[in-house]
Amino acid sequence: MRRTLIAGNWKMNGSLATNAALLSEIIAGMPVAPSRDVVVCAPFPYLAQCADTLAGTVVSLGAQDVSVHAQGAFTGDVSASMLSDFSCGYVIVGHSERRAYHAEDDALVAQKVLRVLDLNMTPILCVGEMLEQRESGQTNEVVAAQLNAVLDVLTSDHLSRLVVAYEPVWAIGTGKTATPQMAQDVHAFLRQQIAAKSSDSAELVQIVYGGSMKPDNANELLQMPDIDGGLIGGAALKAVDFLAIIAAV
Ligand code: 13P
C-alpha cells in the first residue's frame, strides 16, 4: 500500500512572522501519528527557520528547486548538499513555473532529479500539460515526454524513490481542477509509463495531484486509486485548509 503524501508548495510567499504562525498552527493541528506523509516546501531563505521549527515534529521539510550543479561559480543557485544541510527531505523539481519562467527543459530537470537522489532526498517531479495541449488531445504525449526524460536517466534503485506530481498547468492557481476521473486517467497512464521500466517500482511510486486542490475537492480526488496525495499551492498557506486536506479521506 502506498502512503498518501500531502505536500504544501508555498511558492514565493511568507515572512519570518507569517511562517512562524502558519507552522505553529499546522503542528498544533497534526495528528500524533499521521497515516500520511506531510511536507512543507518553503522558499530558500526560510529553510533554516522551518528546519528549526519542524525538528522533532511529524511534518517534513522540502525545497522548491535545486541547482543542477554540485558547487562552484553559480551565483544565486542553491545546491542539493545545501538543502540537505538544512534537513530537507524533499525537493520539488521541474515545477511548471520553473519550466515557464526559467526555461527549464526536460534534460535539465532530469539532471536535477539525479542531484536530489544522490543526496538521499526525495524529488517531487512535476509534469503537466498546458490548456491548448489538453484541448488538442496531447496530454498523454506531453506528460510521457516529461516523465520519460527522467526515467531514462534513473537506475531501478532511484526509481522507487521518485515522487511524481501531475499538475495540469491550466489548473494551477486558477480555481479550475481536473475532475477526479481526468486526474485518475493521467495518473494511471503515468504509472503505466513507470511500469514499463519496472513494474515493482510502479506500485511503490507516489503520484500526487496538484492544481487548485482544496478542502472541498480533496476527498474525491484522494479517493481515486492512482492519486496518492496532493501538491498544494494556495490552500497550503492557510493552516485550516492545509489541515483539512491532510484529514480528507
Ligand atoms: P494551487 O494549489 O495554488 O493551484 O497550486 C498548485 C501548485 O502549483 C503546487 O505546486
State pTM to two decimals.
0.97
Report residue 203's pLDDT band, with 50, 70 and 90 as the boundaries: very high
Question: Ligand 1 atom 9: the closest Cα is on which residue?
Answer: 233
Which domains does the chain carry? 4-247 (3.20.20.70)
**If we measure between CA atoms, which residue out of 207, 229, 205, 233 comes closest to residue 218?**
229
| 156, burial (CB in 10 Å: exposed 0-12, middle 13-18, buried 19+) | exposed
Question: Ligand 1 atom 5: the closest Cα is on which residue?
Answer: 233
**If we measure between CA atoms, which residue out of 195, 247, 194 comes closest to residue 219?**
247
pLDDT tens per residue across span 144-185? 999 999 999 999 889 999 999 999 999 999 988 889 999 999
Q: What's the average model confidence in pLDDT over 94-119?
A: 98
Q: Among residues 69, 95, 129, 141, which one is catalytic?
A: 95
Q: Is the pLDDT of residue 75 over 90?
A: yes
pLDDT tens per residue across span 111-157? 999 999 999 999 999 999 999 999 999 999 999 999 999 999 999 88
The partner residues of 36 in beta bridges, in order of sequence, read 4
Q: Which of 6, 13, 172, 217 to mutate to test the pocket of ligand 1 (most atoms within 8 A of CB)?
A: 172
User: What is the pLDDT, as a whole number, of residue 1?
Assistant: 83
